[in-house]
Amino acid sequence: MSAPERPTARAHRELAEVIRPGDLAIDATAGNGHDTVFLAEQVGESGRVIAYDIQAEAIASTRSRLEAVGLEKRVTLIQGSHARLSRDVDIGSVAAVVFNLGYLPGGDHAVITLREETLSATRQALDALRAGGLLAMVCYPGHAGGDEESEAVLAWVRDLDASLYDVEVARREGTLRPAPFLILVRKKVCPQSAVINLA
């Protein structure tokens, strides 16, 4: 039996289906830069990525990773909270947003994404998404603050209007420790936005 797909791998696979060359994409939690590099590859030379992280260490790591593959010109790095997202992008302008919650791998585990800031940022992310856009969130329960944040995000997506968003939670059950899981929120192309030919 093959190993289950990791949440981050599934997120990248789903994001690749949505992002096109020339698009704008957002990495709300740059961390060590893996998602940022992936998004920069997907948007192409004519596209743009905005990546946020509150830690200087994460921004430096992401910059180094981008420079190593020659993609730094496609990315704007912002050392600051992802809760400022709506100041940096227009409503309906973004193809995809990815959140990799928790703490910086290899960094200070006491510095984590915070529930209230995350909920504010995810609300702003949905506003920023264009019709057909995708919000991908990898949640990490099982560490200090991670359970509360994961449950808050789950409660938030359960309350989203099903006429506007498709929500999928991909979660492994029966693991010894709480396993990371993926939440996908797709912004529907609303019927009223379609052109109707009455002729």
Could you tell me the two tokens for 153? 């995000």
Percent of the chain past pLDDT 70, that is, above it, reads 81
Q: How far is CA 2 from CA 5, 43, 53, 127, 176, in A?
A: 9, 31, 34, 38, 19
Residue 137 has pLDDT above 90, yes or no: yes
What is the Cα–Cα distance from 79 to 56, expressed in whole angstroms?
6
Highest mean pLDDT among 48-57, 166-175, 185-194: 48-57
Report which of residues 117 and 3 the model is more confident about: 117
pLDDT digit string (tens) for 82-94? 999 999 999 999 9
Of 43, 48, 34, 44, give the one whose Cα is nearest residue 6.
34
CATH fold of 7-193 reads Rossmann fold (3.40.50)
Report which of residues 80 and 193 the model is more confident about: 80
The mean pLDDT value of the chain amounts to: 87
Predicted confidence at residue 177, as pLDDT, reads: 62
pLDDT digit string (tens) for 55-67? 999 999 999 999 9
What is the Cα–Cα distance from 101 to 150, expressed in whole angstroms?
9
Predicted confidence at residue 5, as pLDDT, reads: 81
Identify the three-state secondary structure at position 145: coil
